[in-house]
Amino acid sequence: MDDLGKVNWLPPVPKRPLPKGADDQTIVITSALPRPEPHSYDMAPLVEPIHLTTSYEVATPEAFTDDLLNRGRYVYQRLWNRTTEAAELTISQLEQAAGSLLYVSGVAALSSLFVTVLKPGDHIVAHAPCYAGLHHILEHYLPRLNMTSTQVPAGSDTQAFRQACQPNTKLFMVESPCNPDTSILDIEALVKVARDLNILICLDGTFATPILQKVIPMGVDFSLHSCTKYIAGHSDVIAGCISTRTLEQYQQLKMSQFGFTGTSLGPFEAYQVHHAMRTLPIRMEKHSANALALSQALEKHPMVNWVRYPGLPSHPGHEIAKKQMKSFGGLVAFEVKGNAEGARTFVTSLKVATLTAAIGGIKTYVNNPYSFSHGPLMMNDEDRAKARVTEGLIRLSVGLENVDDLIADFNQALDLIVPCTDHTLPGHASKEFFEQGDEVKQKYQRPRGVEDDSGYITINYERYYCSAFVPHAL
């Protein structure tokens, strides 16, 4: 990385000793900044306070520079804030990283990383599908900075990444599990390729969190998360984070955050993230258990074409996931029969789960990426086809509800996608259509249809989410 300014005056990354080999649950409960000295037990709060201040008082004009350069004291919130540092320390200890930084969003973390470690003329290798926001950055914003990218199929072996490299390749930007299809990358194998070619590697592990997958010890340079998702976990705060393998990487990102991007997280949001992490290990255990049970049930339903969950033996990356993950998280991908009509019937018929773009909350969320997260606002038809984002694809973020209630809810919604017979409709249609009497069906048939050369009448049955071609005989 280029030198973005002097970093020798940055104080050491805050640390608080923990018992050797402390469990993640112990870390999130006990992790805290060292107590200020001199310490008084008259002022020893059990919870780190929210320090809502933009600046700090200094004794003299000379003290400002002395405090900043020699004492590492707080002078300005964008550089240091005790509440934010407390959350960063917990993340760093979970990641086993040299240091961690919190950002105002996951996209802010991505953008800050790119402008810190890359320069005009550099090349990135990523994969498709990926987070739609990343795809948008790669396709539309990095070219403005004279940076280029190549995307290989998600779940590819390391040879595909090696072949995609160019002399100016500087970064592998990858996810595992991948968004939205849960593809798995062999992280240690990809790290080896990166080391061989002197390329940095950043892994977005949002769907695993540091609880289920610790990538810094595997050799990854930058571990990135959208804290909006599982880390904060309650759908009430937007934040992102990056943890680094080396102190130098941390310092470069810290200086960029302070002096260029201005993307440091505020104290109130940092408090929300820190507070939520206290239950993160317990939540991820429950997310994983529910997701496995629900994905097993989905595999058995006749209206489901396929299910992708890393915890299923049928998942192409299952063996790799077992090797590098403690458990498999709450993200499931599956495809319903009936394409767009079947997907719409399903997502609008759920009673427990919620249709939304969100992921990683305590509640179960679903969306149809073809029209939602990876829809026309973010990707064109060609890009979606390359990324295998089909009309019937469902992205499922499994929450903490009773799993039997979830299975019943999904089954009743899937049951509403009714296969058509030869004398009704080709493809799939909503059960709502078949519950109508002949008189009602006739009302919506010929008056709205246009006969074509095939002997079919084209009908707009969108209100029933069914196919568009209806035989005369109906």
**pLDDT, tens digit, 9 for 90 and up, residues 274-292:** 999 999 999 999 999 999 9
Domain total in the chain: 3
Based on the domain organization, do 188 and 300 belong to the same domain?
no
CB-based contact 257:128 (threshold 8 Å): no
Average pLDDT for residues 300-305, to the nearest whole number? Answer: 95
pLDDT confidence of 94, banded at 50, 70, 90?
Answer: very high
As annotated, the active-site residues are 78, 131, 204, 229
Instruction: Identify which of 177, 210, 233, 179 has the alpha carbon closest to the alpha carbon of residue 360.
Output: 233
User: What range defines the domain where residue 249 resides?
Assistant: 24-278
Of the candidates 172, 270, 254, 293, the residue with the CA atom closest to the CA atom of residue 8: 254
pTM: 0.84
For residues 332 and 424, membership in a common domain is answered with no
The verdict on 172 and 288 lying in the same domain is no
At 363, which CATH number? 3.90.1150.10
Q: In a 3-state reduction of DSSP, which class is residue 290?
A: helix
CA distance 127 to 346: 29
- Residue spans of alpha helices (H) in 280-365: 280-299, 318-324, 339-347
154 with 298, same domain? no
Residue 55's pLDDT is: 86
Average pLDDT score, the chain: 84
Indicate if the pLDDT at residue 108 is higher than 70. yes
The two structure tokens encoding residue 460? 């707009």
Return the higher-pLDDT residue of 82 and 219: 219
| Higher per-residue confidence, 129 vs 298 | 298
Tell me: pLDDT of 465 over 60: no
User: What pLDDT does residue 169 have?
Assistant: 99
Interval 388-406 mean pLDDT: 92
Q: At residue 448, does pLDDT exceed 80?
A: no
Give the pair of three-digit tokens for residue 324: 């590098």
Residues 424 and 413 in one domain: no
Confidence of residue 18 (pLDDT cuts 50, 70, 90): confident
pLDDT at 424: 41
- Tokens (6 digits) for 14: 């805050």
Cβ(173)–Cβ(128) below 8 Å: no
10 in a structural domain: no
**Residues 217, 273 share a domain:** yes
